[in-house]
């Protein structure tokens, strides 16, 4: 819109006339309730990007009550008269856009915000939401729980794919990545562990406040604020990575020998994939066996029990594949899980265990009726299947088929180029295929179609 035209609006005095003129010049936009993901249509929101989340939380482990304040710094990508956040369960007690109170209503997981005046395209704005209540996890399409999951001494907090919205208002889709500050207050004796680097820990009147900072861009689902009675170990690696391990005493004996290997695992993965992407690393080993999974929370995976070495290798491989390089769509989940699983195979191969070929062969021997062949990993079909065996195992088999076709030199070049080329950003399956063809100089379309997209057990490569 030419500037001269806009200036004439200043002369218009009545709000109705002004709105009509603005409306005519720039169509009113209400953002959109989702980021366009076919598997999770309401996840994320259109019309803005969040650059930073500043979350202040107070969790009472006795009552399970959470008091929160979220300040989102965002930029409008279109003119907005209204926009959505994802937020479910907790009660909103206040909402401002900038300094002004804004209107809001709840509709399912959408928190619909109407600022007093429209946001201009490109405008930077803050949204402050205060909230309270007893958070509860969401049930995913596959029946698993994610989000804020209360435990006997705190909470196991993991948000893949949907659960971030159970504890803070978010643009809850991996296409939007942001930096984070966390200020978390818990009863003295409990530890609150979030992502990134611990800035401070202060105890006043029986409560301890932990301040964490995650500087590199992070998808909302990878945020955590896990609370428990933890033993803490902190050190800095030779490469300057700040390691923070928090371990529930009930898991300490079983996890100690595995956690001891974290520095060497990170170093080994750095050699394969390129530099570790974050300033901080570590582990949160909770005692939450009912959860049934671990999550690659950014810079510091969270485990529902003492992990075995393979799980530690897997979750830390996700720091490159899934965390630093994010999905654009949940349909591409094999880019996370296939890569992390194949890293387990490579680790075994290079540490005296089975070769990746042997692991591949054992899987390939499974009959066509086996669940492994239930759907192709590049097309899980729905959100209910994103953590299914084909995504993990046949996803890893896809990478092994690629390695077999292009040879080790090109294969590891491809992995490193993927990690460095999309560092802190996003990738799609199509981009990975293009990269593999470019690096190897081979036509790999048949291979990818067979392994990623064709239903049923593929013919031997």
Q: Which residues bind ligand TRP (CB under 6 A)?
A: 140, 142, 144, 146, 160, 293-296, 314-315, 337, 387
DSSP letter assigned to residue 295: B
Kindly state the tokens that stand for 100: 């002004």
Shortest CB 310 distance to ligand TRP, Å = 11
146 binds, among Zn ion, ligand TRP, none (CB under 5 to 8 A by kind): ligand TRP
Please give the helix or strand (H or E) that residue 397 lies within, else none. Answer: helix 395-406
- Cβ closest to ligand TRP, residue 142 vs residue 354: 142
- Cβ closest to ligand TRP, residue 48 vs residue 303: 303
- Cβ closest to Zn ion, residue 186 vs residue 399: 399
- Cβ closest to ligand TRP, residue 139 vs residue 200: 139
144 binds, among ligand TRP, Zn ion, none (CB under 5 to 8 A by kind): ligand TRP
C-alpha span between 315 and 300 (Å, rounded): 9
C-alpha span between 191 and 232 (Å, rounded): 9
Shortest CB 321 distance to Zn ion, Å = 9
- Cβ closest to ligand TRP, residue 380 vs residue 458: 380
Shortest CB 336 distance to Zn ion, Å = 6
**Using CB under 5 A, which of the segments 201-209, 264-272, 280-288, 330-338 binds Zn ion?**
330-338
**Using CB under 5 A, which of the segments 227-235, 331-339, 354-362, 377-385 binds Zn ion?**
331-339
Shortest CB 304 distance to Zn ion, Å = 13
78 binds, among Zn ion, ligand TRP, none (CB under 5 to 8 A by kind): none
Shortest CB 110 distance to ligand TRP, Å = 22
Q: Show Cβ contacts of residue 236 under 8 Å, excluding neighbours closer than 6 positions.
A: 242, 243
C-alpha span between 195 and 192 (Å, rounded): 10
Shortest CB 294 distance to Zn ion, Å = 8
**Using CB under 5 A, which of the segments 35-43, 123-131, 217-225, 332-340 binds Zn ion?**
332-340
- Cβ closest to ligand TRP, residue 296 vs residue 433: 296
Q: Are 146 and 172 in contact (CB under 8 A)?
A: no
- Cβ closest to ligand TRP, residue 73 vs residue 144: 144
Q: Are 447 and 453 in contact (CB under 8 A)?
A: no
Any contact of residue 335 with Zn ion (CB under 5 A)? no
Residue of 403, 158, 410 whose CA lies nearest to 303? 158
Any contact of residue 415 with Zn ion (CB under 5 A)? no
- Cβ closest to Zn ion, residue 70 vs residue 317: 317
293 binds, among ligand TRP, Zn ion, none (CB under 5 to 8 A by kind): ligand TRP
DSSP states along 11-23: T--SHHHHHHHHH
**Cβ neighbours of 408 (radius 10 Å):** 9
Query: Strand 191-193 relative to strand 226-228: parallel, antiparallel, unpaired?
Result: antiparallel
Task: Quickly tell me which residue has 């948000």 as its tokens.
Answer: 159
**Using CB under 5 A, which of the segments 149-157, 224-232, 338-346, 368-376 binds Zn ion?**
338-346
Order of strands, sheet of 302-303, starting from the edge strand that comes earlier in the sequence: 230-236, 242-248, 280-285, 302-303
Shortest CB 281 distance to ligand TRP, Å = 16
- Cβ closest to ligand TRP, residue 153 vs residue 315: 315
Shortest CB 223 distance to ligand TRP, Å = 13
**Using CB under 5 A, which of the segments 196-204, 237-245, 265-273, 334-342 binds Zn ion?**
334-342
Any contact of residue 340 with Zn ion (CB under 5 A)? yes
Kindly state the tokens that stand for 289: 């066996």
C-alpha span between 14 and 148 (Å, rounded): 47
- Cβ closest to ligand TRP, residue 113 vs residue 335: 335
Query: Strand 138-139 relative to strand 191-193: parallel, antiparallel, unpaired?
Result: unpaired
Residue of 135, 179, 181 whose CA lies nearest to 159? 135
Q: Are 146 and 140 in contact (CB under 8 A)?
A: yes
Task: Quickly tell me which residue has 């809850």 as its tokens.
Answer: 172
Give Cα 229 distance to the centre of its chain. 25
- Cβ closest to ligand TRP, residue 45 vs residue 389: 389
Shortest CB 85 distance to ligand TRP, Å = 22
Shortest CB 428 distance to Zn ion, Å = 18
C-alpha span between 416 and 180 (Å, rounded): 27
332 binds, among Zn ion, ligand TRP, none (CB under 5 to 8 A by kind): none
Exposed, middle or buried, 258 (CB in 10 Å: 0-12/13-18/19+)? buried
C-alpha span between 268 and 217 (Å, rounded): 24
Q: Give the binding-site size for Zn ion (rule: CB under 5 A).
A: 2
Angular region, 260: left φ>0, alpha ψ -120 to 50, beta rest: alpha
Could you list the residues that contact Zn ion (CB under 5 A)? 337, 340
């Amino acid at each position: 819109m030419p500037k001269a035209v806009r200036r004439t609006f200043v002369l218009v005095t009545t709000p109705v006339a002004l709105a009509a003129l603005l409306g005519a010049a720039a169509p009113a936009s209400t953002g959109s309730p989702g980021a366009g993901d076919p598997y999770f249509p309401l996840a994320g929101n259109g019309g803005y990007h969040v650059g930073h989340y500043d979350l202040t939380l107070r969790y009472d482990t006795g009552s399970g009550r959470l008091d929160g304040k979220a300040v989102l710094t965002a930029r409008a990508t279109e003119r907005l008269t209204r926009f959505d956040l994802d937020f479910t369960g907790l009660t909103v007690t206040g909402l401002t856009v900038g300094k002004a109170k804004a209107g809001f209503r709840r509709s399912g997981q959408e928190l619909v915000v109407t600022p007093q005046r429209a946001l201009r395209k490109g405008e930077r704005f803050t949204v402050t939401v205060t909230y309270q209540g007893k958070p509860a996890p969401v049930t995913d399409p596959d029946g698993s729980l994610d989000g804020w999951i209360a435990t006997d001494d705190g909470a196991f907090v993991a948000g893949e794919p949907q659960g971030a919205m159970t504890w803070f208002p978010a643009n809850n889709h991996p296409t939007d990545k942001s930096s984070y500050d966390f200020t978390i207050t818990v009863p003295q004796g409990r530890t609150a562990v979030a992502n990134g680097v611990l800035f401070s820990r202060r105890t006043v009147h029986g409560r301890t406040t932990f301040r964490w900072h995650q500087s590199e861009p992070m998808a909302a689902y990878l945020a955590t604020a896990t609370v428990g009675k933890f033993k803490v170990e902190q050190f800095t690696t030779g490469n300057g990575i700040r390691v923070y391990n928090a371990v529930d005493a009930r898991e300490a004996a079983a996890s100690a020998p595995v956690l001891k290997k974290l520095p060497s695992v990170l170093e080994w993965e750095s050699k394969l994939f390129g530099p570790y992407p974050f300033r901080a690393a570590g582990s949160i080993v909770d005692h939450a066996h009912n959860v049934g999974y671990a999550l690659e929370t950014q810079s510091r995976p969270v485990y529902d029990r003492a992990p075995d070495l393979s799980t530690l290798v897997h979750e830390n491989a996700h720091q490159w594949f899934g965390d630093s390089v994010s999905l654009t769509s949940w349909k591409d989940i094999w880019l996370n899980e296939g890569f992390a699983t194949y890293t387990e195979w490579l680790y075994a191969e290079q540490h005296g265990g089975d070769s990746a070929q042997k692991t591949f062969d054992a899987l390939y021997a499974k009959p066509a009726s086996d669940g492994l062949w239930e759907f192709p990993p590049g097309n899980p079909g729905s959100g209910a299947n994103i953590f299914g065996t084909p995504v993990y195992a046949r996803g890893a088999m896809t990478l092994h088929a690629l390695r077999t076709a292009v040879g080790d030199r090109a294969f590891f070049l491809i992995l490193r180029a993927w990690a460095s080329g999309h560092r802190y950003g996003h990738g799609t399956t199509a981009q990975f295929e293009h990269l593999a063809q470019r690096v190897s100089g081979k036509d790999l379309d048949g291979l990818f179609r067979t392994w990623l997209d064709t239903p049923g057990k593929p013919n031997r490569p």
